[in-house]
Amino acid sequence: MPRILVVAPNWIGDALMAQPLLARLREKLPGLRLDVLATDRVAPVARRMPEVDEVIEAPFRHGALELRERWRLGRALRAHRYEQAIVLPNTWKSALAPFFADIPIRSGYVGESRFGLINLVYRNREKRVPMALHYARLAEPPGKEPKQPLPEPRLRVDAEAVASTARRLGLVGRYAALCPGAEYGPAKRWPYFAQLAGRIGIPVVLLGGENDRDACSRIPGKNLAGKTTLDEAIELVAGAALVVTNDSGLMHVAAALDRPQVALFGSSSPEHTPPRSTAARVLWLKVECSPCFERVCPLGHFRCMNELGVERVLAEIEALGVTSPAA
């Protein structure tokens, strides 16, 4: 039985864009044992991927080297007898545990000059390719393209758990999930969620992390930002009649759950990190300075989001046919 360890990216959205890689590995290697090493912020998503046999949580603090802990983890991973590790983050430290585990083939992109730590090296052949393709190329030998079209990301949810979570958190009937946050920075955050919330036509729940709680408190609706686990947030997204998001992890969650959604892009590009679902509608003005991929607007005018008005978003919601926008 072939055994592969995939070191997951550290962002929810990136982890979901890597899921087509996992599906391609399954197709190529019947009987594959496929495990994922993930941080606690990504592990709940990886556990819901049907391609994954086991998720091993990496006990590392975000951004910390923690060399001794990585050595200990690598020693523990030896018992799994992996034949290959595929390291998706580009950082030097993310390749340490597979190296310490003596996994014979350790593949990934060059990243932070990881020669030796990575011994099957891939190089970016062009800039800003779709992230799903970027990751899926690691299922093939360097230089060979994966079969297209790529599979879509999909997450498993239990219908009873979805209904139970909604009831427990006070949601009855149809609702829209608004996700105003984006961990990468304010240049990804659409500024008009408050104006939109009262015009959707169904009750609104606000989802996000602890850092989004204050911003969400100024938006009409039930504010659950920072009050749910990631599993609960996934279940609430799964039960939503509509999801409106920035380019964020929850955007990719909604796409993987195939929920009707409107995805709002400004400083980033839907050509690079699109919501991979036919139920998603994308709004991107593509002003002349976009995409800049900056955390904060470097020109100060934030036109890419400021000029994307509420009426445009309401028109997309109406086209989805899932709500009755209020006047």
List CB contacts of 285: < 8 A, sequence separation 6 or more.
266, 303, 304, 307, 308
User: Residue 33: its pLDDT value, please?
Assistant: 98
Q: What is the pLDDT of residue 61?
A: 75
Say yes or no to pLDDT of 151 above 90.
yes
Are domains 3-139 and 159-320 of this chain identical in fold? yes
Q: What is the mean pLDDT of residues 243-258?
A: 97
How far is residue 157's CA from residue 152's CA, in Å, rounded to a whole number? 16
- pTM of the model as a whole: 0.95
Return the domain boundaries, the chain: 3-139, 159-320
Which class would CATH give 3-139? alpha beta
Residue 326: pLDDT band with limits 50, 70, 90: low
Q: Note the pLDDT tens digit of each residue in 59-96.
A: 887 777 789 999 999 999 999 999 999 999 999 999 99
Judge whether residue 323 has pLDDT over 80. Answer: no
Right CATH for 159-320 from 1.20.1630.10, 2.60.120.10, 2.40.50.100, 3.40.50.2000:
3.40.50.2000
What lies within 8 Å, CB to CB, of 293 at 6+ separation is: 267, 268, 269
Beta bridge partners of 118: 115
Mean pLDDT of 280-294: 96
**Residue 325: predicted pLDDT:** 57
Report pLDDT for 176: 97
Quick check: 115 pLDDT over 70? yes
